[in-house]
Structure 1
Amino acid sequence: MAVNIITKEDLQEFKMELLEEIKNLFHIKTTEQKLWLRSSEVKSLLKISSGTLQNLRISGTLRYSKVGGTLYYNYQDIEKMLNQK
């Protein structure tokens, strides 16, 4: 049976590699699509005007939530709407 000796340097190197992998995991999470989008983000994403977005709200085509005067749209609802068309 072989014996491996672990030094402080080995542990330090392992620590740095582990921290780098954790940072990468957080980076991946932040680049994922946000769940809730504001009106300006939806208009930019869909390349539509404010009036068109209002028509989608009024017709019930696109659901929204209002929080403190700001309208939010669920990204999954936007995907569903696009897949139906």
Structure 2
Amino acid sequence: MSEIAKLVKSNSPSQSKQWLKSTEVRKLLNISPGTLQNLRINGTLRYTKIGGTMYYKSADIDSLLEGGNNA
């Protein structure tokens, strides 16, 4: 899992952004919309909803990747 985290950090220009949209998070983690929804529902991944758009802190994504078995 740590190898994946290193690859994501080195290959993603979106990591410089503090907030990521759902589509960016899905591409970054290579997960489906349903999986992202499950991560939100079970509290694994925090989010902020503004209007109809959900935003995720890039630091939370990093923590999820470094946590290993959380996803």
What is the TM-score when the length of structure 1 is the normalising length?
A: 0.62
Provide structure 1 residue ranges, at least 5 long, that are not aligned to the other structure.
1-29
Structure 1 residues 39 and 58, CA, compared in 2 at 3 Å: closer, same or farther?
same
Provide structure 2 residue ranges, at least 5 long, that are not aligned to the other structure.
1-12
> Cα deviation per residue 1:6-40 (whole Å; 9 max; x = unaligned)?
xxxxxxxxxxxxxxxxxxxxxxxx98611100000
Between structure 1 and structure 2, the one with the greater Rg is: 1
Q: Which of 12, 28, 42 is equivalent to 1:45?
A: 28
Q: Which of 30, 50, 67 is equivalent to 1:67?
A: 50
Give the share of equivalent positions with the same residue, in percent.
Answer: 57
Distance (whole Å) between structure 2 residues aligned to residue 57 and residue 31 of structure 1: 20
CA RMSD of aligned residues (A): 1.7
Q: Paired residues, what number?
A: 56
